[in-house]
A = this chain, B = another copy of it.
């Protein structure tokens, strides 16, 4: 078993305002290549803390991957930290300096002197070229360990990793992962439904991850257990059936878009409490103009009447957050847009506006086509962003289920 630790270096990553995201990309790649991540760490721009982090990582992992701290400023100390920890001096590389100078020239600027620092490399290390920035990466083998120093910006780190680091990485027997997503079912219910499969797994590892209004299932196995993985995945698919909306973590809006394209149908949307969230998600998918033309954000009662022609008395009688208004909104938006489907969302996202009868989180979702109009009532829990996301999730999932009929 080859083990790895990822260390993100940078004082800004110890503030309340920034997270390390590079490690998610790296983790994905490591598991594909049979390397087990045992720890992740973050330290600031402090030479002693960096040395300490290297020492710790050398104790618990075979491969140490660092991101950040390769820039030209006095705060960039990753090279120095590695050099100090291993007692290996830094050497000046003229060819690196040349390529940094060349890069500045291409952008019509003169290289500042401080960038010379980026041409310093620990003796015996290999340089990893950076085609997207000035900081070269560094690779070193020492005492049986592999060390990779990578630049912090993801658009520099990712291509460097793929092109230059990955070929050098010590690899293990690869692992495979099958992932599934489910909307609108509670975690405990999904977990219970899958027990017949998950209780009998041998070499396949099962994880269930719950986010608001979305459950992810992961099955994870070494290549040697590929058959068990395939059959477990097939059982999961068969148990969850239509509840399962995606293999391989495709977003719900992409699945809906694919189904609309396959059937050559369009959808129009009228939103109240979600205020554009459903439209925004649908149009986040490239090529969505094939199936989406019209969205109407009718936030006020007057807008529902003026834009959609929902009768003012209907709203006065039942309230804007009601089954009949959701029904009228869905029907009217479909007709107005001459679309195959009309979706509507009207509800109370809070924190104000709830009543005893219709508390915050009450949401009606309408779905209309030529043959039928259905309205579903939900009671979502959580704060405003969570209720809005859950509503958009429910709307897209209802459309997905209708498309599968």
A interface residues, Cβ below 8 angstroms from B: 11-21, 24-25, 27-28, 31, 37-44, 46, 49, 52-53, 56, 59-60, 207, 209, 216, 218, 249, 269, 271, 273-280, 282-284, 286-289, 292-300, 302-303, 306-307, 336-337, 350-352, 384-385, 388
Contact B43 A14 (CB under 8 A): no
Contact B299 A294 (CB under 8 A): yes
Contact A279 B297 (CB under 8 A): yes
Contact A16 B24 (CB under 8 A): yes
The majority secondary structure among interface residues of chain A is mixed
Q: Which of B39, B274, B282, B283 contacts A41 (CB 8 A)?
A: B39
A39 surroundings in chain B (CB, below 8 A) = 14, 41-44, 49, 53
Cα separation A350 to B285 with both chains bound (whole Å)? 10
| With known contacts A27-B16, A42-B41, A283–B275 Cβ distance under 8 A | yes
One complex includes copies of this chain to the number of 2
Beyond A14-B39, A15-B207, A293-B300: 7 further Cβ-contacts under 8 Å?
A17-B216, A40-B41, A52-B60, A276-B297, A279-B279, A289-B299, A295-B299
A-B contact pairs, 23 of them (CB 8 A): A11-B207, A12-B209, A17-B209, A18-B209, A38-B46, A39-B42, A41-B41, A52-B59, A273-B283, A274-B283, A275-B279, A275-B282, A275-B295, A276-B276, A276-B279, A276-B295, A279-B280, A280-B280, A284-B385, A295-B295, A296-B296, A296-B307, A306-B336
A49 surroundings in chain B (CB, below 8 A) = 38-39, 60
Give the Cβ gap from A5 to chain B, nearest Cβ, in Å: 9
Give the Cβ gap from A310 to chain B, nearest Cβ, in Å: 14
Cα separation A202 to B23 with both chains bound (whole Å)? 35
